[in-house]
Amino acid sequence: MAFNGHRGDDDEVVNHDEDETPTKQQQQQQPPRCAGEAMTDDPTHDPADGGTPADELSATGTRTSRQDSMRKSRPPFPWFGMDIGGALSIRRYLTSHTAYGQTGLRDVHLELRDLSLCGRTGTLHFIRFPTHDLPAFLQMVRDKHFSSLHTTLCATGGGAYKFEADFHTIADLELHKLDELDCLIRGVLFTDSAVSSDPASECYYFEDPSDPERCVQRPYALQDPYPLLLVNIGSGVSILAVYSEKDYKRVTGTSLGGGTFLGLCCLLTGCSTFEEALEMASQGESTSVDKLVKDIYGGDYQRFGLPGWAVASSFGNMISPEKREGVSKEDLARATLVTITNNIGSITRMCALNENINKVVFVGNFLRVNTLSMKLLAYAMDYWSGGQLKALFLRHEGYFGAVGALLELLHPS
C-alpha cells in the first residue's frame, strides 16, 4: 500500500545546459550545437549572449564557460539528468525549439541562466513529458544517434528501473540509476543555493495564509534549512525528514497524491489532463460536495473546538442521491483537490509533530501551477498548528529529482 515514494512522477528531463538533445533540427550525425559547443567549450559567452532569446536557447541550450582545471574530468557536453516517474501527468521529452515532440514542454520560466556548474557557465533547462511517451522519446533518441554523444545517462525515478532495458535496447544508452530520494534532496539543496542570490528566490511562502485577500507569496531565505520535512507530491507522496544533505530518512508516504487527484477527476468529470482538472477545480465549490461540521452541528462543534466550516466528511453529501444530482463537474474536481490536499496536509502535520520539525518544504509536480493547493497547504499548516508550522514551496516544484541526477553526473557521490 502505500506508498510510495516515487513520486516523481513526473518525469522530466532536465537538461543542463546546452543542449539538448535530440532536437529536431539536428542532423543525424551531428547533434548540432550541443556537440559543437560542448567540444569547444570555449569561454565565449558574453553576458548578452548568455541571455539568448528563448527560442534559441530551447533548441540548443546555452553557452558555457569553463575552467580548465575541470575539463578533463567533465563528462561530454550536453549534460542531462532524468527523473522518470509514475506519470502524474504528462510530460514529454525534450527537443527542439519549442516543441519537444508532441507532448514535451520546456518550462522556460524556470530556466536558470548563467549558472556556473563544474567550470562552465550555462543555462539549466527544464523539460517535461509524460512517462507514457517514453517509448516515443527513446525512438527519437535512437534516430538522432544520441548515443554517439553519451553512452551513460544519469536517471532516477522508478522509470529508471522499469525502462532500463528499453534504454539499452532501443536507444543504446546505459542508464546510471540513482536513488530518487537522494537525487531529490540533492536537487533541492543545489537549486536553492544556486539561486539564492536571485531576487526571485527559489523558496517562498505565503504570508497571511488564513486571509485569501491578503495572502501573498513572499520569498523565503532557506539559509539554515535543517532539519526540514520535505514533502514530495507526485503521483503519490513521500515525506522525508532531512537533517543534512546526506542524512535523511523517509518518514512515511501516502498513496493519496497527485495521481489520485487526476485519476479521480478523470473518472468523475471525464477530463484527461492535469491542467484541465485544475482548471475545473478552480471554478468549482467543494462545499456542496463535502459535508461540513456546520452541516451536522448547525455551527461549530464547540465540545471539540471544531469550526463549522471544517470539512467533516469529504464527499459526505454525495451519499444523498438528490445532492449527487445537484453538483457540477467543477464542484467535484474542486472537492477532489481539496480532499487530497488537506489529507496530505494532515499527514504532513502529524509527521512534523512526530519528528519535531517545524519547517516543511512541499515540492513535486502536483504543485505545478497549482496555487490552490499551495494556499490550502499553507493555510492548513498554519491553522491546525496554531502558527507553529511553516509551509515552504520551491519554484522548481517537480524538477529536483532530475537536477539531482544531473549533479550526480558531474559530481559522483
Partner 1 sequence: MAEFDGVDRRSSHRMDKSITLPPDEIFRNLENAKRLAIDIGGSLTKLAYYSTVQHKVAKVRSFDHTAKEAASDNIYEISVQEEITARLHFIKFENAYIETCLDFIKDHLVNTDTKLIKATGGGAHKFKDLIEKKLGLKVDKEDEMTCLIRGCNFVLRNIPHEAFVYAKHADSEFRFQNTHPDIFPYLLVNIGSGVSIIKVESEDTFERVGGSSIGGGTFWGLGALLTQTKRFDELLQLASKGQHTSVDMLVKDIYGGSYGSLGLTGDLIASSFGKSATTNKEFSKEDMAKSLLHMISNDIGQLACLYARLHKLTRVYFGGFFIRGHPVTMHTITYSINFFTKGEVQALFLRHEGYLGAIGAFLKGAEEDNPNQYSWGENYAGSSGLMSVSPDLNPMQRARSGTFDMLEMDRLERKLVNLPLLQDPSSYIPDTVDLTEDPLAREYWLYCFEEALDGVVKRAVASQPDIPEAVERAEKFRHKYRDKLQTLRQQPFAYGSLTVRSLLDTREHCLNEFNFPDPYSKIKQRENDIALKYYQKAVHALDALSWEEKHFALVRGVLAGNVFDWGAKAVSDVLESDPEFGFEQAKRQLEERPWLVDSYDQWLERMKGPPHKCSVFFVDNSGMDIILGVMPFVRELLCRGTEVVLASNSSPALNDVTNGELQILTERIAAMDPVIQAGLKDERLVLVQTGSSSPCLDLSRLDKVLAMVVRERKADLVVIEGMGRAIHTNYYARLSCESLKMAVIKNSWLADRLGGKLFSVVFKYEVPPPPTAVMTTAEEDEENSVFAP
Contact positions with partner 1 (CB under 8 A) in 22-81 = none
Residue 228 vs 239, nearer CB to partner 1: 239
Residue written as cell 477532489? Answer: 336
User: Does 351 interact with partner 1 (rule: CB under 8 A)?
Assistant: yes
Q: Residue 8 and residue 85: Cα distance in Å, rounded?
A: 4
User: Does 2 interact with partner 1 (rule: CB under 8 A)?
Assistant: yes
Q: Residue 40 and residue 21: Cα distance in Å, rounded?
A: 17
Among residues 293, 337, 363, 389, the one that binds partner 1 under rule CB under 8 A: 293
Among residues 22, 50, 86, 398, the one that binds partner 1 under rule CB under 8 A: 86
User: Does 120 interact with partner 1 (rule: CB under 8 A)?
Assistant: no
Known active-site residue 213 = no
User: Does 163 interact with partner 1 (rule: CB under 8 A)?
Assistant: yes
The C-alpha cell at 283 is: 471554478
Going by DSSP bridges, is the β-strand pair 228-233/359-363 parallel, antiparallel, or unpaired?
parallel
CB count within 10 Å of CB 194 equals: 17
Among residues 172, 174, 179, 245, the one that binds partner 1 under rule CB under 8 A: 179
Phi-psi region of 281 (alpha: psi -120 to 50; beta: other; left: phi over 0): alpha
User: Interacting stretch for partner 1, rule CB under 8 A, among 41-49, 91-99, 222-230, 266-274?
Assistant: 266-274
Cross-strand bridge partners of residue 392: 361
DSSP 76: P
Nearest CA to 259 among 238, 281, 233? 233
Cross-strand bridge partners of residue 363: 232
Residue 212 vs 321, nearer CB to partner 1: 321
The C-alpha cell at 260 is: 489520485
Among residues 250, 276, 288, 358, the one that binds partner 1 under rule CB under 8 A: 250
Minimum distance from CB of 162 to partner 1 (Å)?
3
From 18, 37, 180, 408, active-site residue: 180
Q: Residue 229 and residue 249: Cα distance in Å, rounded?
A: 10
DSSP 302: G
Letters for 358-397 (x = contact with partner 1 by CB under 8 A, - = none) are ----------------------------------------
Among residues 186, 291, 334, 390, the one that binds partner 1 under rule CB under 8 A: 291
Residue written as cell 514529454? Answer: 92
Letters for 122-141 (x = contact with partner 1 by CB under 8 A, - = none) are --------xxx---------
User: How many chain residues interact with partner 1 (CB under 8 A)?
Assistant: 76
CB count within 10 Å of CB 134 equals: 22
Among residues 70, 216, 221, 319, the one that binds partner 1 under rule CB under 8 A: 319
Supply the residues annotated as catalytic: 180
